[in-house]
């Protein structure tokens, strides 16, 4: 039994302003027409693979479910109450397999946000790792380094015997400075740490119990009584949050005697920065990557991505320019590893641009901010056919709704009404209300909020189709 385990909880904040806390990079189409999560699942072998386990956090659960639905894949979606790094995430999946009586299953542990160009060669290497894992080995992949990259961790490998692909893991190395990275490249026995693993569930749990028992105990308690909630598996938050925040490298792989490394030369990238995207995409004669509505003049070596407007450049070199509806990034291409510093400033200032885009996806549809002031907030709300917002009320704001397109079913207190295009209604402060789309086409309304506090947390829910509290 071979089970893919996809870790989909990353934040990808070095790709801000495209990647945000509530819509990180694994859910974006950065290299093709499908998201990185969808590509990760679709590059797996066609046969001999069981239904995947996707480990996600609470906020992204509907994004995961919808993207799986789009590509026709059914998966067990395990929800982490909060991010605790890779060792606990993988432990949840392994314990889930143990509970279902399949502890001998081979787990293919994959990040949801990586790029691999050569799928066929990747699948061949996966099968070699699966064979090695059958005897209890914990196999990871070391990417053959083709440059002195400073954005990756490294693995130093030692040959088991001449000519053998599988190697012993001699050492895990932190992200190096430029001189050290060049030394690693020159030596030839250092590989980029891919973060991809293959091992049996029981082998991992045994190693985790031995080398990092605090993670093992916390995760075992957390998943002792899992709860099914629609498409999702929920675990107990209190014990899980007691787990150390630690990667599998530090928790297990640095200590185990069962660790092996298999070289990987498949056009791999973790797409961890705008520089990585510049490396990935085809370039014009001036070595520019152009995406969207862009006009350049005397521009070289730049990554330029237009969002909602024309972007034009003149006389610039080695820049990253990324335009979205509510934020613009202009950066030196050599400094893009430091974008997280900007995101930290956004967090300190409690700026919404760190969390979400102007258009915010919801399980029932989406909304987009059109205008905002101290005491008003104007949104365009789209409700999918047959979908409903929660039955709710607001303590501090009133709402005016105008139907632009489609048909709305509105509950306001004890009153139930049907509104069609150009009709409107008013929801007073504190009134219980609900908006639904009974039609077969999307419902679009304009909502005008007014009041002393307009935060999204001013919601008391009484009933919700999506299990939100």
Instruction: List phi, psi (to 5°) of 172.
Output: -100, 135
306-321, pLDDT tens digit by residue? 998 999 999 999 999 9
Please name which of 108, 89, 115, 109 lies closest in space to residue 35, comparing C-alpha atoms. 115
Q: Decide if 224 contacts 216 (C-beta within 8 A).
A: no
320 by DSSP, 3-state: which?
strand
C-alpha to C-alpha distance for 127 and 123, rounded to whole angstroms: 6
C-alpha to C-alpha distance for 388 and 463, rounded to whole angstroms: 10
Residue 151: pLDDT band (50, 70, 90) is confident
Residue 157, both tokens? 């490998």
Residue whose structure tokens are 């027409």: 33
C-alpha to C-alpha distance for 158 and 44, rounded to whole angstroms: 28
Residue whose structure tokens are 């020159």: 186
Q: How confident is the model over 148-160, as a mean pLDDT?
A: 90
214-251, pLDDT tens digit by residue? 999 999 999 999 998 878 999 999 999 999 999 999 99
Q: Decide if 120 contacts 93 (C-beta within 8 A).
A: no
Q: Decide if 321 contacts 313 (C-beta within 8 A).
A: yes
378-435, pLDDT tens digit by residue? 999 999 999 999 999 999 999 999 999 999 999 999 999 999 999 999 999 999 999 9
C-alpha to C-alpha distance for 229 and 447, rounded to whole angstroms: 30
DSSP assignment of 36-88 equals HHHHHHHTS-SSS----EEEEEGGGHHHHHHHHHHTT---EEEEESS---HHH
Please name which of 451, 415, 456 lies closest in space to residue 432, comparing C-alpha atoms. 415
Could you give the percent of the chain with pLDDT greater than 70? 100
423-442, pLDDT tens digit by residue? 999 999 999 999 999 999 99
pLDDT for 11 equals: 83
Gyration radius from the chain CA atoms = 24
Q: Decide if 96 contacts 223 (C-beta within 8 A).
A: yes
Q: Decide if 95 contacts 160 (C-beta within 8 A).
A: no
Residue 44, both tokens? 């797996």
C-alpha to C-alpha distance for 336 and 321, rounded to whole angstroms: 11
What domains, with CATH codes, occur in the chain? 2-269 (3.90.550.10), 285-343 (no CATH), 359-463 (2.60.120.10)
């Amino acid at each position: 039994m071979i089970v893919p385990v996809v870790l989909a909880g990353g934040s990808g904040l070095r790709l801000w302003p495209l990647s945000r806390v509530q819509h990180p990079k694994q859910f974006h189409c950065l290299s093709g027409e499908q998201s990185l999560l969808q590509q990760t699942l679709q590059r797996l072998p066609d046969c001999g693979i069981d239904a995947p386990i996707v480990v996600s956090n609470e906020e992204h659960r509907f994004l995961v479910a919808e993207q799986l639905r789009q590509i026709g894949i059914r998966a067990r979606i395990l929800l982490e109450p909060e991010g605790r790094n890779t060792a606990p995430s993988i432990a949840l999946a392994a314990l889930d397999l143990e509970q279902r009586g399949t502890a001998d299953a081979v787990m293919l542990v994959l990040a949801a946000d990586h790029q691999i160009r050569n799928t066929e060669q990747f699948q061949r290497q996966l099968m070699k790792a699966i064979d090695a894992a059958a005897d209890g080995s914990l196999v990871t992949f070391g990417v053959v380094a083709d440059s002195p990259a400073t954005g990756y961790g490294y693995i130093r490998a030692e040959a088991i015997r001449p000519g053998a692909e599988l190697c012993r893991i001699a050492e895990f190395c932190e992200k190096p400075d430029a001189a050290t990275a060049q030394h690693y490249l020159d030596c030839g026995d250092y590989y980029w740490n891919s973060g991809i693993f293959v091992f049996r569930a029981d082998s991992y749990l045994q190693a985790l119990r031995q080398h990092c028992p605090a993670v093992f105990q916390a995760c075992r308690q957390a998943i002792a009584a899992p709860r099914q909630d629609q498409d999702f598996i929920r675990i107990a938050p209190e014990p899980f949050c007691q787990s150390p925040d630690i990667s599998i490298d530090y928790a297990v792989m640095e200590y185990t005697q069962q660790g092996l490394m298999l070289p990987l030369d498949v056009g791999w990238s973790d797409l961890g920065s705008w520089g990585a995207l510049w490396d990935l995409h085809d370039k014009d004669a001036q070595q520019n990557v152009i995406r969207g509505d862009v006009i350049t003049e005397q521009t070289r070596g730049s990554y330029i991505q237009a969002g909602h407007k024309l972007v034009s450049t003149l006389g610039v070199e080695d820049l990253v320019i990324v335009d979205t509806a509510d934020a613009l990034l202009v950066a030196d291409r050599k400094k893009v590893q430091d974008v997280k510093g900007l995101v930290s400033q956004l967090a300190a200032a409690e700026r919404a641009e760190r969390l979400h885009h102007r258009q915010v996806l919801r399980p029932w549809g989406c909304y987009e901010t059109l205008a905002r002031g101290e005491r008003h907030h104007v949104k365009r709300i789209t409700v999918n056919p047959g979908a409903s917002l929660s039955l709710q009320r607001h303590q501090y704001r009133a709402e005016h709704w105008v139907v632009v397109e489609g048909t709305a079913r509105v509950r306001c207190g004890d009153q139930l009404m049907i509104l069609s295009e150009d009709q409107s209604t008013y929801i007073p402060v504190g009134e219980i209300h609900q908006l639904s789309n009974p039609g077969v086409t999307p419902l679009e309304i304009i909502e005008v909020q007014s009041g002393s506090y307009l935060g999204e947390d001013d919601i008391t829910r009484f009933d919700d189709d999506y299990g939100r509290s």
